[in-house]
């Protein structure tokens, strides 16, 4: 059995003579470097009894010889070749990035993040503008709108989302009705549960939950698809062929999410109302006919219009943030994941902020 | 110095390190009756190949003749339909325990065509990945020194270590990939089209580097290439893949003497002739 790397020492007047034995290889090194470092001034490094040596072993020898200004003797032909290859000074080869003190890095990160958020905002606005310009150019040049691409997205953004959005909204309808009924029962006003479910779902919740779901389902998909296309240089290939990526990739996706959002939002509202109706029927003994009649009395047409006005805006938001994030992907695969996350977060955040603005706006014009 | 448990660990590591002894084998890789089949498409039909220890073997063949599949079969990324593959007398198929297969894997380094560097790690960290995996007890200072000299060995500039793969040029990515393949000082090096996508000057330098490293470190190299200049500049022997088999193995001079139409087309086509003229003498010198 071959021996692991070891050495014997021989104390002399002008330093230690070190005689290595066994195999000076990575696998056999063990704690040899540490023991070697613990020695006093070294005079000679004798390699004549070394069975085998690899670059790591040769590096240890080179390093030690340089540190102690020691002489290397008895190196075999193989060892000499390796030692020669490693002889040049490697001290200017860097391995890590420069490290700054903690406080400087924190400040730097804070600054970078602030600038990043601002740039992101400017970027999204700029991207939105570029998209509008591309749309107008496409119309002006009388180029065919890519209906096929848009309709394909209808399938993935809209039709495929129907089951999950329907189920989610149905359950939310039940939850609102149930929680509302518990509170209203204290005043004997259980019947107002219908008002709560009807107005909340048509005006706010149906669409809001839909927008969040579409941002999570499709906004992320847009970002990941486009990001991957950027990485594989498909987007660049498109540009060189003369196809505008804005026209071919971005516009169909944004158009699809814009057109589909009102439909999905309306569908979600209906599902929530059905959910509320089922609970009212079973839990509150309100028959469906009464439920529907009451809904017709209490939901003003303006609620419906408010939803239809908000929906396309949310659709544009989700589409634009998704496509923008995808287009920002550079360098590596990790970036795709990061950008996808930021697409979803930005879309949901912006949707909720805009929804608040809309709420204030609609009340102030008297749509109560 | 080290406590008892640690010493036991070291002993186990050393015992495992003995399982494969590359220097004892004349034939590094022995492939017998290899069959690879994807659905109805037969890629290899009873292919035989020997790679001798210490040689640089070039593997050539038209596109789709299964050069990469052969390499993937040898390193265990692809389970063959039938046949035997032995690397240093061990076959990944018959190795029962994880220990032994890890020990075998430690003996080879693979450089993929696109470099396959881990994109979220810097070049130095990429080189340290195999080291950390197999020798978790190496201290960081030594790891850094090893990474630094590997970076130097493959001819990367001094500031390449902290860079990320996305910041490197094509040639530098290949060199970094090579550095990672060499991290464990393997006895066996697999290179998949190392010069593809490099400019002629970069490719020539890379050929030189491979030759130099192979001589310095005593490597056995399995080199897949399309590049005739690479063949002439680096390879000791060349294996030709065609008709689902290795149809010929030998020095370029020996191959030129065979009658096979594909080999004749390959070496005596317009590109082949240009390479032959410029390298002919060097190849002749090596074989004589």
Question: Lowest-pLDDT range, A340-344, B28-32, B133-137?
Answer: B133-137
Who has greater pLDDT, B190 or B22? B190
Query: Cβ of B148 and A332 within 8 Å?
Result: no
What's the pLDDT score for residue B1? 44
B-chain residues within 8 Å CB-CB of A54? 185, 217
Q: What is the pTM of this model?
A: 0.67
**pLDDT at B247 > cutoff 60:** yes
**pLDDT at B90 > cutoff 50:** yes
What's the pLDDT score for residue A3? 67
What's the pLDDT score for residue A171? 96
What's the pLDDT score for residue A292? 93
Confidence of residue B5 (pLDDT cuts 50, 70, 90): low
**pLDDT at B280 > cutoff 60:** no
Q: Does A2 touch chain B (CB under 8 A)?
A: yes
What's the pLDDT score for residue B87? 87
Mean confidence (pLDDT) of chain B = 82
The two most distant CA atoms of chain B are separated, in Å, by 67
Mean per-residue pLDDT, B221-244 = 88
Least CA distance to A28: which residue of chain B? B14
**pLDDT at B287 > cutoff 50:** no
What's the pLDDT score for residue B3? 58
Q: In a mutagenesis test of the A interface, which of B123, B143, B216 is the best target, namely the one with the most A β-carbons within 10 Å?
A: B216
- Buried b / exposed e over B206-230, threshold 16 CB at 10 Å, is bbebbbebbebbbbbbbbbbebbbb
What's the pLDDT score for residue B2? 47
Mean per-residue pLDDT, B135-151 = 87
Q: Which residue has tokens 């062929």?
A: A241
Mean per-residue pLDDT, B20-34 = 79
Q: Does B140 touch chain A (CB under 8 A)?
A: no
**Which positions of chain A have pLDDT values less than 70?**
1-3
Q: How far is B206 from chain A (nearest CA, A)?
A: 17
**pLDDT at B264 > cutoff 60:** yes
Q: Does B5 touch chain A (CB under 8 A)?
A: no
Nearest CB to A88; choose among B152, B216, B217: B152
Reported as a single tens digit per residue, the pLDDT across A190-215 is 889 999 999 999 999 999 999 999 99
């Amino acid at each position: 059995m071959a021996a692991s790397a070891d050495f014997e020492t021989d104390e002399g007047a002008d330093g230690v003579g070190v005689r290595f034995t066994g195999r000076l290889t990575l696998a056999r090194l063990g704690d040899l470097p540490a023991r070697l470092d613990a020695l006093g001034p070294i005079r000679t490094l004798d390699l004549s009894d070394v069975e085998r040596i690899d670059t790591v072993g040769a590096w240890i020898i080179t390093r030690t010889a340089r540190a102690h200004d020691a002489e290397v003797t008895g190196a075999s032909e193989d060892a000499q070749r390796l030692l020669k290859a490693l002889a040049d000074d490697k001290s200017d080869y860097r391995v890590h990035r420069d490290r700054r003190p903690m406080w400087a890095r924190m400040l730097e990160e804070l600054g970078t993040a602030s600038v990043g958020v601002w740039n992101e905002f400017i970027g999204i606005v700029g991207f939105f503008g570029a998209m509008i310009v591309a749309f107008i150019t496409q119309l002006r040049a009388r180029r065919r709108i890519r209906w096929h691409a848009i309709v394909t997205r209808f399938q993935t953004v809209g039709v495929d989302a129907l089951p999950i959005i329907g189920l989610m909204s149905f359950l939310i309808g039940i939850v609102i009705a149930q929680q509302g009924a518990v509170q209203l029962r204290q005043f004997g006003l259980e019947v107002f549960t219908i008002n709560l479910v009807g107005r909340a779902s048509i005006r706010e919740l149906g669409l809001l939950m839909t927008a969040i779901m579409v941002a999570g389902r499709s906004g992320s998909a847009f970002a990941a698809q486009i990001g991957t296309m950027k990485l594989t240089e498909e987007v660049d290939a498109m540009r060189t062929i003369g196809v505008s990526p804005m026209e071919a990739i971005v516009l169909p996706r944004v158009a699809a999410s814009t057109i589909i959002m009102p439909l999905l939002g309306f569908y979600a509202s209906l599902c929530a109302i059905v959910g509320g109706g089922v609970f009212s029927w079973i839990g509150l003994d309100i028959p469906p006919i009464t439920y529907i009649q009451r809904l017709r009395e209490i939901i003003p047409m303006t609620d419906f219009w408010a939803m239809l006005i908000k929906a396309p805006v949310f659709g544009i938001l989700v589409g634009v943030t998704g496509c923008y994030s995808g287009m920002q992907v550079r360098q590596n695969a990790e970036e795709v994941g990061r950008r996808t996350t930021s697409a979803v977060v930005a879309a949901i955040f912006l949707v909720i902020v805009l929804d608040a603005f809309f709420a204030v706006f609609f009340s102030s014009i008297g749509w109560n | 110095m080290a406590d008892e448990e640690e010493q036991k660990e070291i002993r186990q590591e050393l015992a495992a390190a003995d399982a494969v002894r590359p220097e004892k084998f004349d034939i590094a890789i022995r492939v017998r009756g290899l069959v690879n089949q994807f659905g109805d498409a037969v890629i290899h039909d009873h292919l035989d190949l020997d790679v001798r220890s210490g040689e640089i073997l070039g593997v050539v063949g038209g596109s789709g003749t299964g050069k990469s599949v052969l390499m993937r079969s040898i390193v265990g990324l692809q389970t063959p339909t039938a046949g035997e593959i032995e690397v240093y007398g061990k076959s990944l198929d018959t190795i029962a325990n994880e220990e032994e297969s890890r020990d075998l894997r430690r003996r080879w380094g693979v450089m993929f065509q696109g470099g396959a560097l881990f994109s979220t790690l810097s070049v130095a960290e990429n080189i340290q990945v195999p080291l950390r995996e197999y020798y978790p007890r190496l201290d960081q200072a030594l790891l850094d020194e090893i990474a630094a000299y590997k970076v130097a060995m493959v001819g990367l500039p001094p500031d390449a270590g902290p860079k990320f793969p996305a910041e490197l040029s094509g040639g530098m990515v290949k060199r970094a990939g090579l550095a990672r393949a060499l991290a464990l000082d393997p006895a066996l090096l697999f290179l998949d089209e190392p010069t593809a996508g490099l400019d002629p000057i970069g490719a020539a330098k890379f050929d030189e580097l491979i030759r130099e490293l192979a001589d310095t470190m005593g490597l056995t190299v399995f080199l897949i290439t399309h590049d005739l200049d690479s063949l002439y500049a680096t390879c000791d022997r060349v294996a030709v893949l065609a008709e689902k088999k290795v149809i010929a193995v030998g020095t370029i001079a020996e191959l030129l003497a065979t009658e096979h139409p594909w080999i004749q087309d390959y070496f005596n086509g317009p590109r082949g002739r240009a390479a032959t003229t410029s390298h002919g003498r060097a190849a002749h010198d090596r074989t004589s």
